Structure 1
């Protein structure tokens, strides 16, 4: 396993238009700001994109925006409860049945809860984050593993946080959940490595690490904020597409840093 920092400029260069022509990529958590940016960028890169979210209204808005921006692209949405393992498995199966293949799962399901101090940590927050940040990763990775392994360019992409490597007192639950999600994804990477045998993996699991994310609405709400070290969701989307630019062996099991390492 290796860690490296990828600049926004590098990611943009890696993610040239049409780089994913013919690919079929699923995006979990597609209704949020990062999901919207990912749908747009993946469609621009030529992929067929299938987004999921548990909120059908915001998912429809995200899908419509990506479809409108890239009229020739196929962008569809499925309302899926990723906390339901069977529903997640059915989603993965349906994608392969409808589109003939699946080349990627981008996991953008997120959420945060924290506390003022360590001793004020609520374990209710852990219960919430364990489901949101860990269980959804478990379900999607298990559901999509075989399909991604059948692809000649399968990728599982997890978005994580720098806090997983350097937890702070008030973020114990969040950092622990992110660290667990990373560990699970690295185990997935090892499964891809073993499945590839002596010739190396043909599919890969990679982790993109950010400090936090920022988007245009946040800047509009806080025009004087610096958002130091934050990654714009558009730059994150560029980095997501860039994961397909390199051979599986070069990204499998790696943390790709989009912010300064703690």
Structure 2
């Protein structure tokens, strides 16, 4: 079974949690594409009367392309359920997100949701963070502060930090919010208290948001290579 098929299987189960009249937060990434397709089918065939709030430009385009009702946090500050992918999830459903650069808006949308469902393929499922995802933890920062922030994180926690480069232009990657992204490649041999790490990094002046999503996920669906889907709830 291909990874895309595994993602589609996880997404199909994940959107089953959406009920009629729900306000739904839509995340970003390749697995969310499958979720939006499945959600659009349910919206059409079951007359769900849902409303969707995007967490990125990509998510907004997906919502519009599939004919789903688009709203925002100004009009709907409380979200019934958010559906998003992850770059990696550990045994406690602590997540690394932000590989696509949308961590800030994703975390804002998820923080407004009563329930957060993770959908992913089996390669994102780990016992410990860093087992499979090797690009590090994204940290969105104000551009003028990226050098001192880099120094402070390395001094406090060790590891290496890379300023994420843009793909199709010279210079750094710039987020939807006009910021830079640092990718922190932490020491995988250390046992980190991720809640503590997230708090300390977030308190550094110039840090906008981290890609650590601690105690936010309620349930995760992981599509397996054999076509089955593994479910895991937060502890």
- Taking structure 2 as the reference length, the TM-score comes to 0.37
User: Between Structure 1 and Structure 2, which shows a larger proportion of strand residues?
Assistant: 2
User: Between Structure 1 and Structure 2, which shows a larger proportion of helix residues?
Assistant: 1
